[in-house]
Amino acid sequence: MRDINSVKKASAATTRVTSRPNFNRAVEAFWPHQVTHMKAVLLDTPSDNPSSTDMKSSSRFEAIFSFRCLVTGAICVWQECWNVLQACKRKTAGRQAYIDQTAETLDKLKTYLIRCVEHCQYKQLVKCIASLEYTYLYLQAMRLSTFMRIQRLLDLLNTICTEARSINFWCTSFGQVEFINKQLVSNFRLHQRDNIEDFLVHLESYFQPKMKEMLEEKTWLICHQGITLHYITVI
């Protein structure tokens, strides 16, 4: 037996870490005519093909954090943004301008990201990731504001959203991203944040050098029958 809240947290964590659906959808969205090729390139590792120059930049940071990992993480974060935007659409009554504006921004970021990948632009890709993470936190704040009834928290969300709109999503500082993340994590309960214990830690799971192994991991389903919890392994 385990505490039900711990089980819910574990369930959320495992379903998010096993990022196969987001990865597949992201590749299909970015390279619809090269899906098989791009999946192979992104999941390749230096040990698999040491002579390959695919997804390698000339940046001095390449040896510390590979360009391939940046690309894989970036497209998955873009997909996360798109997923949250669809949730906002479903939860928002009436036509809201920010929905269309954010969709347009995500489209621009996708085009910019594809260009960064084509030219192996390491620094520009990092800036794009900062904007994507900022957009993601903004959308989470907008999503929270659709059901928040506590005035203090609603005021905080409105402040976050107003500040985010003022910089037009082109964020170049991870400090801004971390500041908003801290506000969301420290002021809102876990269930209000949709069981995301830490927004940025959740996003960082996509920037792993062993993405191929992550996608092949077993996932866990949790069934609740009365007060008994059973773990079922899905092969």
Concatenate the DSSP letters of all residues of 118-178 into one string.
HTT-HHHHHHHHHHHHHHHHHHHHHHHHTT---HHHHHHHHHHHHHHHHTTT----HHHHH
Q: Mean pLDDT: which of 23-27, 148-152, 174-178, 209-213 is highest?
A: 23-27
- Which pLDDT score is estimated for 137? 94
Confirm if 80 and 86 have CB atoms less than 8 A apart. no
pLDDT digits (tens, 9 = 90+) for 20-48: 678 999 999 999 999 999 998 998 766 55
pLDDT digits (tens, 9 = 90+) for 73-90: 999 999 999 999 999 888
- Which pLDDT score is estimated for 146? 86
Query: Which is higher by pLDDT, 221 or 111?
Result: 111
- Which pLDDT score is estimated for 110? 96
Confirm if 181 and 199 have CB atoms less than 8 A apart. yes
End-to-end CA distance of the chain: 23
- Which pLDDT score is estimated for 226? 38
pTM of the model: 0.80
Report the range of poorest mean pLDDT among 15-29, 57-71, 210-224.
210-224
Confirm if 234 and 220 have CB atoms less than 8 A apart. yes
Query: Which is higher by pLDDT, 137 or 233?
Result: 137
Flag whether pLDDT at 51 surpasses 80: no
Flag whether pLDDT at 190 surpasses 80: yes
Nearest to residue 101, comparing CAs of 25, 164, 154? 164
